[in-house]
């Protein structure tokens, strides 16, 4: 899914190696190549990595404006993550969808798959739009 305008990754995204690969109204896609520094004691991606990917994809999904000069920001109010499997591939792909909301808050759902199609985690969240 192509983006209508670019936005530079913020420092935490850069640090982890996340790439926003899709962004449009009510949708976002974030990808992350798996690397050793993302692992837990078992060598699997740390659960916080999954939570970060879901939070990021769902947050972007609700903040699309289509105008690079009028960005919308949001704060996470609630984040729920269900860990379902471990990756078999070399890349995590998170997708987020805005599912509803109003003037000040929005709801979103997300899923993480690996590059082989394995569903790794699912999540939902509540976000508040920032003013100004």
Q: Where are the domains of the chain?
A: 13-129
- Mean pLDDT (the chain) is 93
**Predicted confidence (pLDDT) per residue in 6-54, tens digit:** 677 889 988 899 999 999 999 999 999 999 999 999 999 999 999 999 9
Residue 6: partners with Cβ closer than 8 Å, 6 or more residues away: 68
* Averaged pLDDT for residues 54-80: 95
Domain spanning 13-129: which superfamily?
Hotdog Thioesterase (3.10.129.10)
Closest CA to 72 of 18, 118, 132, 19: 132
User: Do 49 and 65 meet the contact criterion of CB atoms below 8 Å apart?
Assistant: no
pTM of the model: 0.93
**Predicted confidence (pLDDT) per residue in 79-88, tens digit:** 999 999 999 9
Q: How far apart are CA 39 and CA 21, in angstroms?
A: 23
């Amino acid at each position: 899914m192509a983006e209508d305008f670019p936005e530079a990754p913020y420092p935490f995204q850069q640090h982890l190696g996340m790439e926003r690969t899709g962004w449009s109204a009510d949708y976002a896609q974030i990808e992350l190549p798996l690397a050793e520094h993302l692992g837990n004691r078992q060598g699997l991606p740390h659960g916080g990595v999954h939570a970060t990917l879901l939070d990021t994809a769902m947050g972007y999904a609700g903040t699309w404006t289509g105008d690079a000069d009028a960005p919308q920001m949001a704060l996470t109010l609630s984040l729920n993550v269900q860990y379902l499997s471990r990756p078999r591939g070399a890349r995590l792909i998170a997708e987020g969808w805005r599912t509803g909301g109003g003037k000040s808050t929005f709801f979103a759902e997300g899923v993480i798959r690996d590059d082989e199609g394995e569903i790794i985690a699912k999540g939902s969240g509540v976000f508040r739009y920032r003013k100004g």
